[in-house]
Amino acid sequence: MTTLVIGAHGQVGQRIVQQLAATGETVFGGIRNAEQAATIDKLGGQARMFDLMGSADAMVPAMHGIDTVVFSAGSGGSTGDDMTLNIDLDGAIKAIIATEEAHIQRFIIVSAMGTDDREFWANSSIRPYYVAKYYADQWLQHRTNLAYTIVRPGILTDDEPTGKIALNPEKTDNTRITRADVAATVTAVVRHPLPHQIITLVNGETPIETAVQQAAALQ
């Protein structure tokens, strides 16, 4: 299977590229400038230029030969709300449109826990981020025929990976998850598809591969 990771130079994106490549998958890393290509190569992927500020039509050639698209791009905390709209919302939607134009069936997007709760937005210091994520997720669910999976992790940390998660927890005191464990979950979803599902995840007690396989078996 061949996967394109959009936002491959980001903190979660790099980990996804590395972990997918380690499984033997063919991985292309979508990057915005050529200087990032060396990093993708070191992680075991192959770089492809991918401009989220460009048109959807311009994105299609970079999707040639791809089976699964993973969207892990984000504007980052150092940019303003304008870039949140440009990347996390408009960029995501253009990537979704391009995926359909390229006749690819599978699209996995890294979203965020709390995205579907407007009361949560109101108490957040990054409300525009959640608004952008919400409407990108809505577009993916209701405006496409893609076999989507929406991955909504809790608060991201740079702690050492645990290899364990709680998937779709009903009640939990923990709202955090390591970036490496998010990447491992996305990698598992690529290998064990969860079409038309939204999954939330935090660090927990179930091995990641087991949690995803159990979710796949329930479809």
Write out the catalytic residue numbers: 129
Q: Are 128 and 84 in contact (CB under 8 A)?
A: yes
- Distance (Å, rounded) from C-alpha 185 to C-alpha 73? 16
Q: Is 5 helix (H, G, I), strand (E, B) or coil?
A: strand
Question: Residue 148 is inside which H or E element, if any?
Answer: strand 147-153
Of 140, 118, 138, 139, nearest to 127 (Cα)? 118
The label of the residue with tokens 């699964």 reads 68
- Distance (Å, rounded) from C-alpha 28 to C-alpha 177? 25
Q: Are 189 and 148 in contact (CB under 8 A)?
A: no
